[in-house]
Amino acid sequence: MLGLNKKDTTLLIVVGCITIFAPFILNPFPADSAMAQFNAGYPDLMQRFAIFGIFAIGFNLLFGLTGYLSFGHAAFLGIGSYSVVWMYKLLDYNVLWGLPLAVVVSGLFALGIGYISLRRSGIYFSILTLAFAQMMFAISYSDLLGRFVGSTITNGETGLQVYTSDPQILLGANEPNTPHLFGLVMNNSYKMDVGPWMFTFNNGYYFSALIMLVVFYLAIRIFRSPFGLMLRAIKSNNTRMSYTGLNPRPYTLAVFVISGMYAGLAGGLMASMDPLAGAERMQWTASGEVVLMTILGGTGTLIGPVLGAGFIKYFENIFSKINDNVLHGWFSFLPDGLENFVVFIIHPFIGKGWHLTLGILFMLVVIFLPGGLVEGGQRIGKMIRGKKNQNKKPSSTEPAEQGELTDGNS
């Protein structure tokens, strides 16, 4: 289907089903239960799952498939956000105008940065991309370009946002004053109560998720294409490929641009959910975050970056909200002294200390699952298949089937 083999088609269908039914899957606990703290089926977090999944999928094409580690991909994330907000300011709040611009502008910046950075490889390439990203952050934070042209471009540290004085030449009298798609408001949600459970279906999430499925499909096609095979050859042995007479630079530059366009699309979707763009989206920490997502999920795999993005964003949003009051509520059945001791032990790992928990989990994954969460799933699958095969294997006392060779001399 759609040019995919059976295995990839199955994977795409599974990802599609998980995406469609995410509001149910991410809300396993009743809304009024103590475990509802771990539910993740609310709009803001689900949107982040989809948006950062797009960001990680694009980064995986460069890092996982080609072997080039970029520490500056957050620059394209920020460029995409600025592009969409500028379309809000100039035209109207329809997200359709801004997203294509975000992809194109991010691709152009990626072309320029990649053309220079790809003259080097290894750690030198990584440092160059980091330097360019920090330059972009500094320029955006100080609105250096705006000073040259005599008008704001990024609005400096305040961030770019829409004001009533902006032109918005396409804004109609009855048009929503918030991001929308031809009247379908991104922030609107439909809530459904099923007994003690409450499920939220958000327009913005499904819009982002649909785009994620499209770019995920494109990533599969790139992985299976001759172009993807060339990228694997570059990762395997770039020098040997050069000795065969093939120039790897056009391929690496092409995938760098494609990866930058994925990041720009993700940044544009962030502005589609919240009509604001700031320089903080270009910081080196955002670039490091997508590296962690890819490694945690499984470098060079198709579904791994999406799993890694969901894993990190879940910890960032769920574990950071757990505080001492929540812990005391969970362990209130214990004697006071023991309750306070348990809270004291757990306290460093929740709330503002969620980074410590994530760091420990990251270490465990790198040590015991070098292939990331995907390798963990593969191991579990092998164990299940192994047990099934053992159950199907006939015992030694059972007679062999007719025609079966039971001896090597038969």
Asked if the model's pLDDT at residue 410 lies above 70, the reply is no
Can you name the residues that pair with 195 across neighbouring β-strands? none
Per-residue pLDDT tens digits for 231-246: 999 999 888 888 888 8
Q: Is residue 37 part of a domain?
A: no
Residue 103 tokens read as: 């992809």
pLDDT at 1: 59
Asked if the model's pLDDT at residue 401 lies above 80, the reply is no
Per-residue pLDDT tens digits for 268-296: 999 999 899 999 999 888 899 999 999 99
Mean pLDDT value across the chain? 89
Q: Is residue 105 part of a domain?
A: yes
Asked if the model's pLDDT at residue 7 lies above 60, the reply is yes
* Beta strands 197-202; 180-181: pairing state: unpaired
Query: What is the mean pLDDT of the segment spanning 3-24?
Result: 92
Per-residue pLDDT tens digits for 251-267: 999 999 999 999 999 99
Q: Is residue 195 part of a domain?
A: no
Q: Is residue 239 part of a domain?
A: yes
Number of independent structural domains in the chain: 1
Q: What are phi and psi of 319, to 5 degrees?
A: -70, -30
pLDDT at 33: 82
Residue 166 tokens read as: 């902006």
Residue 179 tokens read as: 């991001």
Domain residues for the domain of 237 are 44-188+202-283
- Long-range CB pairs of 197-200, under 8 A, 24+ apart, other chains included: 197/27, 197/30, 197/31, 198/27, 198/31, 199/23, 199/24, 199/27, 199/41, 200/23, 200/41, 200/42, 200/43
Q: Is residue 131 part of a domain?
A: yes
Q: Is residue 100 part of a domain?
A: yes
Per-residue pLDDT tens digits for 298-355: 999 999 999 999 999 988 888 888 888 888 888 888 888 898 999 999 888 888 888 8
pLDDT at 352: 81
Amino acid 250 reads: P
Query: What is the mean pLDDT of the segment spanning 87-92?
Result: 94
Q: Is residue 295 part of a domain?
A: no
The residue whose two tokens read 């902006």 is: 166
Q: Is residue 374 part of a domain?
A: no
Asked if the model's pLDDT at residue 390 lies above 80, the reply is no
- Count of H-run helices and E-run strands, the chain: 17, 6
Per-residue pLDDT tens digits for 348-378: 888 888 888 888 888 888 889 888 999 988 8
In sign, the C-alpha dihedral spanning 288, 289, 290, 294 is positive
